[in-house]
Amino acid sequence: MPPFIQTAKIPMDLTLLTIQFMNGLQLGVLLFMLAAGLSLTFGIMDLVNLAHGSFYMAGAFISASIIFWTGSFVWGVLLAIPLVGLLGLVTEFLVIRHLYSRSHLDHVLATFGIILVFDSLVHIFWGSNGISVPLPVWLDGQVEIFTGMVFPTFRLVIIITGLLMAVGLYILVNHTRLGMLIRAGASDRTMVSALGINIQLLFAMVFTLGAVLAAIAGMLIAPITEASIGMGGQIIITAFVVVVIGGVGSMKGAFVAAMLVGLIDTLGRSYLDDLFKLVMSPGAAETAAPAISAMAIYILMAAILAVRPQGLFPPKVR
Amino acid sequence: MMIKKLLAAGIGLAMMTGTALAGEVKIGFITTLTTPAGIIGKDMKKAIELAVEQMGGKMGGLDVNLIIEDDGFKPDIGKQKTDKLVKQDNVDFVAGYIWSHVLLASRKSVLDAGKFLISSNAGPSPIAGKLCNKNFFSTSWQNDQTPMAMGEVLNQKKVKSIYIIAPNYAAGKNIVAGVERTYKGKIVGRDMTRWPQQLDFSAELAKASASGAEAIFIFYPGKAGGAFFKQYEQAGLRGKIPLYSVFTVDSIALGKFQKANMQGVLGSQMTNFWAPDLDTPQNKKFVSAFKKKYGTYPSFYAAQSYDSMFLIKSAVDAVNGDLSKKDEMRAAMRSASFPSVRGKFTYGKNGMPIQNFYLREVTKDADGVWTTRIVSKVYENHQDPYVGECKP
């Protein structure tokens, strides 16, 4: 048996750290796209939407099909967005609309049902095998950001898209009439409807916006992993953590928390085992590191909840 | 009072249906049919149904009653389903099991009931060693063996250093232990990732790339494997650091890769005990019938499951359908006299096959379909390293 060569030095070299930082950023913006919609529906409509991840999955599958049909990744994404928006509207009209006046437990039940329906629909239309989504050549390569530092082009595209969407949401929420209503809704729902705002329309729009954001995240992740049944179920838990850390209903909170969670997760995967090796055997460190790094974001959530139960940036006046 | 009577009647009924009907051999088969890993289970299901069909639905004069259950990729559910097969259905054999942690959780239920347990895939080390049992047989391999063969291949290719990335669960640890057992070069880094949630390997690939390793070794069954290959390509590591794998590229994944035109997978090398082009009479019969019936190449999971059915048939045939003769059935299976897709092999005392391992690579067949073909034989009659710990 060969000796396990202990990497004595902690690989702290700057290039690797920068790359890991960008990997964390990429995970962060993806989580933001999911958490933004979740936070909006939870904060404004007081709706616990477990099925948010289903739109993430729907986005991945619908865009994958269009990509294979048109042969173009860009068309796949652009054409899938209105389709997913329609799906969001229909879901809101058929199911979600009837839940607003009901208890959270009913929300959980109904939206869990939606998950099952979406999973079955995907099963019927696309089968249980996932779809591997190809990237066009110009997205499939790498870019050299600094000399010696190469980064996958597509991950860079995800970061840029995510940041642009964050800016877009910032403008929408803070500088438009719709945003004003959204903020007002997050602060005091009853007052907004009392002032004669068509709250039903507002809710439908917010829900659809959230669904589309989640679907875009799904479209962007599919070429990295694949479109598969249940893909939303795994990431939605992390997205809920982001919402709780950031403060329910707050876009700024969702953004900061998503970045925080993305970075902690990625840097934990990158460096935790090396850190553990300083105090325990390599074998134990390698087993413990993924377990602890998986827990890290929950530990962070628990710590933040203990100090600031309302999250980092709660919307003003609740 | 009424309720008590009803209950008693119900229990009585359950017990009656529980006892096997005369003239029937009941085979329980645990696999994964839901979750994305369900695609593996479906391939296995196809193979066992093909096997039973080729047998004319009979073993030793008895009708074959297949009961297929879904473990949902979870050890607790796998155990529940195993209990159901053993206690409620009262099956004679329990076969299947893709996942090592599911098999480890379920083994006791089968073996304590004195029934035969056949693994059609999982081969965790405890079952080959300390927890070995006379009623356990595998038609696959012990987890360490295939990566041990890969370690040997890496030695032959004079690869001086490798970086290992594998999932953090029972099989992942065995696979890593296996390659480290035989590989003589330097292991410059090792990452055990969250299983099965983690599908993004950006951090691990960046570390591997920065480590200066000459090659990367991975083990990612199911959809994680496809994700890894893609991200490896997207990170631009192809042509820089060769990627070697075990149990990651199979016919199920290759169909998807070909559809997405992932050319980088062609030429990729792995070790396995089997390939669709392995030249044995039973394998030719199996592969051609499978392709004819289902239109695709079978995966190694399918090949192993197909073998499971013929192993069971050899036991039932040996006693002419008298399922009470457990000792004779066990002896028949121990002799490994059934026609196997891998050709002639023998069983160790722990019920693990002593068999050949091959290096295989991804290639296009005559019709342009992506498949794997054998490059060379790495091990002849190889036995797992845990058999010494087995005291049956």
Q: How far is B204 from chain A (nearest CA, A)?
A: 7
Tokens of B46: 């196809």
**pLDDT at residue A206 in the model:** 92
CA pair distance A142, A61, nearest whole angstrom: 25
Compute the distance between CA of residue B73 and CA of residue B41 in angstroms, rounded to an integer. Answer: 10
Q: Which residues of B touch A141 (CB under 8 A)?
A: 236
> How much of chain B exceeds pLDDT 70, in percent?
94
For chains A and B, what is the number of CB pairs under 8 angstroms?
138
The pLDDT value recorded for residue A314 is: 87
* B282 touches B341 (CB < 8 A): yes
- A279 CB-contact burial (10 Å; exposed 0-12 / middle 13-18 / buried 19+): exposed
Report the Cα–Cα distance between both ends of chain B, in Å, rounded.
50
pLDDT in tens, B225-250: 989 999 999 999 988 999 999 999 99
Q: What is the largest CA-CA distance in chain A?
A: 76
Chain B residues whose beta carbon lies within 8 Å of the beta carbon of residue A231: 36
Output the pLDDT for position A7.
45
Q: Decide if pLDDT at B274 tops 90.
A: yes
Arithmetic mean of pLDDT, A92-102: 93
DSSP letters along B241-257, please? S-EEESSS--HHHHHHH
- Tokens at residue A91, please? 């879901």
Closest of B295, B226, B290 to residue B256, by C-alpha: B226
Closest residue, chain A, to B34 (C-alpha): A128
Of A7, A267, A294, the CB nearest to B189: A7
Of B197, B265, B272, the C-alpha closest to B226 is B265
- Residue among A9, A14, A129 with most chain B CBs within 10 A, to mutate: A129
Q: CA B135 to CA B303: how far, in whole Å?
A: 22
Picking from A203, A232, A206, A186, the residue whose alpha carbon sits closest to that of residue A98 is A203
**Rounded mean pLDDT of chain A?**
90
Mean pLDDT of A138-165: 91
CATH topology of domain B145-272+358-389: Rossmann fold (3.40.50)
pLDDT value for A14:
85
Which of B183, B192, B228 is most worth mutating to test chain A (most A CB atoms within 10 A of its CB)? B192
| A19 neighbourhood in chain B, CB within 8 Å | 206, 210
Contacts of B198 in chain A (CB under 8 A): 290
- What is residue B381's DSSP assignment? E
Question: At residue B353, what is the residue type?
Answer: P
**Which residue of chain B has the CA closest to A268?**
B203
Q: Give the DSSP H/E element, type plus range, for residue A193.
A: helix A189-194
CA nearest to B254 within chain A: A132
Single-letter code of the amino acid located at B175: I
Contact B237, B243 (CB under 8 A): yes
Residue of A7, A134, A224 lying closest to B200 (CB–CB): A224
Q: Do B206 and A270 touch (CB under 8 A)?
A: yes
**Cβ–Cβ below 8 Å for A289 and B192:** yes
Predicted TM-score (pTM) of this structure = 0.88
Q: Smallest CA–CA separation between A139 and chain B, in Å?
A: 9
Return the sign of the alpha-carbon dihedral for residues A154, B199, B36, B298. Answer: positive
Question: What's the pLDDT band for B322 if we cut at 50, 70, 90?
Answer: very high
* Amino acid letter, B41: G
Find the angle CA(A168)-CA(A174)-CA(A176) to the nearest 5 degrees: 80
A4 → chain B, closest CA residue: B187
Residues written for chain A? 318
Q: Give the pLDDT mean for A210-217.
A: 96
Q: Which residue has the higher pLDDT, B214 or B4?
A: B214
Nearest to A223 by CA among A114, A118, A136: A136
Residue with tokens 């990158």: A270
* Digit-coded pLDDT (tens) for A265-296: 999 989 988 888 888 888 788 888 888 888 99
A29 pLDDT exceeds 90?
A: yes
Q: Which CATH number fits domain B2-141+279-351: 3.40.50.2300, 3.30.1360.120, 3.40.50.1820, 3.40.50.300?
A: 3.40.50.2300
Query: Which of B181, B210, B261 minimises the CB distance to A134?
Result: B261
CB-CB neighbors (< 8 A) of A282 in chain B:
190
ipTM greater than 0.90:
no
Which of A12, A57, A132 has the highest number of chain B CBs within 10 A, making it the mutation to test binding with B?
A: A132
Residue A6 distance to chain B (closest CA, Å): 8
Cα distance between the two ends of chain A? 63
Q: What is the pLDDT of residue A11?
A: 46
Least CA distance to A273: which residue of chain B?
Answer: B191
DSSP B165: E
> Residue A130: what pLDDT?
87
Residue B53 above 90 pLDDT? Answer: yes
All residues of chain A having their beta carbon less than 8 Å from the beta carbon of residue B259 are 68, 131-132
Residues of B in contact with A26 (CB under 8 A): 202
For Cα atoms A37, A41, A45, give the angle at the middle one, nearest 5 degrees. 165
Q: Hey, are the CB atoms on B193 and A286 less than 8 Å from each other? A: no
Say if residue A4's pLDDT is above 70. Answer: no
On chain B, the residues whose CB falls within 8 A of the CB of A154 are 234
List of chain A residues whose C-beta atoms are within 8 Å of the C-beta of residue B204: 269
Average per-residue pLDDT for chain B = 92
Cis peptide before B196 (omega within 30 of 0): yes
**Among the partner residues A5, A223, A290, nearest to B187 by beta-carbon distance:** A5
Token readout for A245 is 């850390």
Name the amino acid, one letter, at A44: I
Which pLDDT score, from 0 to 100, does residue A210 have? Answer: 95
Mean pLDDT along residues B72-91: 96
Write down the pLDDT at residue B19. 46
Q: Is B114 left (phi over 0), alpha (psi -120 to 50) or beta?
A: left
pLDDT at A318 over 50: no
Q: In chain B, list all ranges with CATH 3.40.50.2300.
A: 2-141+279-351, 145-272+358-389
Contact (CB<8Å) B35/A229: yes
Residue of chain B whose alpha carbon sits nearest to that of A1: B181
Q: What is the mean pLDDT of residues B18-39?
A: 82
Amino acid A147: pLDDT: 76
E-strand ranges in A99-258 read 142-146, 149-152
- A158 to chain B, minimum CA–CA distance in Å? 13
Which of B328 and A174 is assigned the larger pLDDT? B328
Per DSSP, what are the bridge partners of residue B62? B59
pLDDT bucket at B17, cuts 50 / 70 / 90: very low
Whether B15 has a pLDDT exceeding 60, the answer reads no
Q: Tens digit of pLDDT for each residue in A40-53?
A: 888 888 899 999 99
Least confident of A140-149, A238-247, B135-144, B345-354: A140-149
**Residue A224 is nearest to which of B230, B236, B252, comparing CB atoms?**
B230
CA distance A74 to B181: 47
pLDDT at B4 over 80: no
Average pLDDT over residues A245-252: 90
From A27-31, A190-194, B275-279, B387-391, the region with the lowest mean pLDDT: A190-194
pLDDT band at residue B72 using 50, 70 and 90 as cut-offs: very high
**Cα–Cα distance, A260 to B324 (Å, whole number):** 63
pLDDT score of B295 more than 50: yes
- The closest CB to that of B226, out of A226, A234, A286, belongs to A226
pLDDT interval class at B11 (50, 70, 90): low
pLDDT band at B61 (very low <50, low <70, confident <90, very high): very high
Is A242 buried (19+), middle (13-18) or exposed (0-12) by CB count in 10 A? buried
- CB under 8 Å to A37, separation ≥6 — which residues? A52, A55, A209, A210, A211, A212, A213, A214
Per-residue confidence at A128, pLDDT binned at 50, 70, 90? Answer: confident
Do residues A264 and A256 touch, judged by C-beta distance below 8 A?
no
